[in-house]
Amino acid sequence: MEYALFLGCTIPLKLPHLEKAFRDVAGILDVKLKEMEGVSCCPEPVSLQSLNMDTWVTLGARNLAIAEKMGLNILTICSGCYETLKTVSVLLAEDKEYLNKINGILKKIDYHYTGKTKVFHFVELFSQPEWLDKLKSLTVRPLDDLNLAVHYGCHLIRPSKIMQFDHPERPETIDRILKALGAKTIDFATKLECCGYCARLQEEIGENLVEQKMTELCELEEEVDALIAVCPACTTQYDRKEKIIARNKNKELDIPVLYLAEIMAIALGVELEDLSLTNRSVKPKKLIEKLTT
Amino acid sequence: MTEMVKKNASELDHAFRYEISQKVGAKSLLKCIQCGVCSSGCTVTEYVDLQPHRVVASCLLGLRKEVLNSNAIWTCSLCHRCTERCPKNVDYSFILALLRNLAVKEGKIPKEYSGTVVTIYENGYVVPYTGGLKTNIDRRRTRMGLPELVPPNLDEIRFIIDETGLGGLAKKKEDK
């Protein structure tokens, strides 16, 4: 199966090492990807949707129309893009009148969206049984000794009536992927808490949420080797804020944060030097030691 | 908690509930039974001046100004737990986005939210991608062996933003 790869903005422009890790994984798993030329920001679900629903939906529909022209379904690597593109596709599938209105605007710039293109996040794809088997058989650096904490984030799984692929309060898909690679995933109280990145009005909301989760993970009896996230916003939120909180509050918070594709790339045998693993505030030194000794 | 608001019946905006509920996906507003499940699971419940169930109650009562001026509608982190847990399927997080849209039409936009559309209008992306910044990004991508980005035709992006009514905001620079 071939997919139109929707990169979004944050990963390709600010965190290209995450894109690199994903492309390495896709290459090893033999997922065929086609570049999407001329796509814009998805657009970003929090502000654009808040400012004007029509702007959000029309820009999103333009991106979907590009994939439709390519005759392919979309594969996203960012939870924000996933939320926008999937919500837009569901909204427009449920409301023909709205679809006509949006197409009326798109027509003036020679685009047309019918609703054929489906939107997937790579978690959705790789957590299916046949892909889990493939992951198992292609693992060359098993994560056997690792204890991983998973952060699903909000926009990957909710609202479930739109996202429709994992349980909104007891998700399992990422745990399944990590277990297929040999790792142990842990259960913890704040697993489903929001990272707070999108609560822009008050900085302290995010700080408190990050502190809560990281403190819990550091105090667990079993040592946690990394927090695994799938959204660029969550990934940077935990990584940056953890270090700042540790400094300001004199706390020992030292759990590295990795993007799911990075830990997958490690297990699938990508050279560690090629992965920019030190490119973050909390370096995964111990994790690398565990994997190389 | 907000201070007590005292209003006469004639001061309430009875059409407010329908202004919201006529939008697709927002009809559910009218089904709220005020159970408070949304507020008990809300990520930002301790930071808002009006908790989710009270925002809904205020919409139903016609307290238009109080709702659109509340910090509650902008403090939300859109974690969608309210929508997920509501026993009456009230889509609060979607309704909240519509309330933000209404506030924007009245010119009430926190600066934390208005900048995004300016950046998209100028770059097509939510991250600046022009001049020296573009050169640096491209160089970094090439070093990693990543393919060249083919950005969107900005005329198309600007047309959509103008046509859907955000052009004024998008062209307003930070200097206001």
- Whether residue B176 is predicted with pLDDT greater than 50 in this model: the reply is no
Question: What pLDDT does B174 receive?
Answer: 46
Measured in residues, chain B has a length of: 176
pLDDT in tens, B85-138: 999 999 999 999 999 999 999 999 998 899 999 999 999 999 999 999 999 999
Binary contact (A193, B149; C-beta < 8 A): no
Size of interface A-B (CB pairs under 8 A): 174
Which domains, from first to last, does chain A contain? Answer: 2-122 (1.20.1050.140), 129-274 (3.40.50.11810)
pLDDT in tens, A213-249: 999 999 999 999 999 999 999 999 999 999 999 999 9
Q: Is A16 on the interface with B (CB under 8 A)?
A: yes
- Whether residue B11 is predicted with pLDDT greater than 60 in this model: the reply is yes
Alpha-helix runs per DSSP H in chain A = 16-29, 45-51, 53-70, 79-94, 96-107, 122-126, 129-138, 160-163, 173-180, 203-219, 232-249, 260-267, 285-292
Amino acid at site A177 = I
Q: What is the residue-averaged pLDDT of chain A? A: 96
Q: Helix (H, G, I), strand (E, B), or coil: what is residue A120? A: strand
Could you confirm whether domain B11-105 is CATH 1.10.1060.10? yes
Closest residue in A to B91 (Cα–Cα): A159
User: Measured between beta carbons, which residues in chain B are less than 8 angstroms from residue A52?
Assistant: 101, 104, 164-166
User: Measured between beta carbons, which residues in chain B are less than 8 angstroms from residue A9?
Assistant: 125-127
The interface pTM score, or ipTM, of the predicted complex is 0.95
Q: Which of A220, A163, A146, A154 is nearest to A188 (CA)?
A: A220
Alpha carbon distance B141, A159 (integer Å): 34
Q: Helix (H, G, I), strand (E, B), or coil: what is residue A34? A: strand
Question: What pLDDT does B23 receive?
Answer: 79
pLDDT in tens, A1-32: 899 999 999 999 999 999 999 999 999 999 99
Binary contact (A51, B169; C-beta < 8 A): yes
Question: What pLDDT does B175 receive?
Answer: 44
pTM of the complete model: 0.95
Alpha carbon distance B149, B119 (integer Å): 17
Lowest-confidence range among A136-140, B4-8, B104-108, B166-170?
B4-8
User: Measured between beta carbons, which residues in chain B are less than 8 angstroms from residue A20?
Assistant: 144-146
Tokens of B81: 């737990």
Alpha carbon distance A197, A237 (integer Å): 6
Return the biggest CA–CA distance within chain A: 61
Closest CB to A13: pick one of B84, B127, B144: B127
pLDDT in tens, B140-155: 999 999 999 999 999 9
Alpha carbon distance B126, B144 (integer Å): 22
Q: What is the residue-averaged pLDDT of chain B? A: 93
CB-count exposure of residue A141 (10 Å: 0-12, 13-18, 19+):
middle
User: Measured between beta carbons, which residues in chain A are less than 8 angstroms from residue B114?
Assistant: 51
pLDDT in tens, A131-141: 999 999 999 99
Amino acid at site B137 = I
* Nearest chain B Cα distance for residue A196, angstroms: 6
Binary contact (A59, B79; C-beta < 8 A): no
pLDDT in tens, A185-194: 999 999 999 9
User: Measured between beta carbons, which residues in chain A are less than 8 angstroms from residue B169?
Assistant: 51
* Nearest chain A Cα distance for residue B54, angstroms: 19
Task: State the pLDDT confidence band at A84, using cuts at 50, 70 and 90.
Answer: very high
CB-count exposure of residue A276 (10 Å: 0-12, 13-18, 19+):
middle
Could you state, in order of their start, the residue ranges of all structural domains in chain B? Answer: 11-105, 111-171
pLDDT in tens, A106-153: 999 999 999 999 999 999 999 999 999 999 999 999 999 899 999 999
Average pLDDT over residues A160-167: 93
Closest CB to A108: pick one of B93, B151, B159: B159
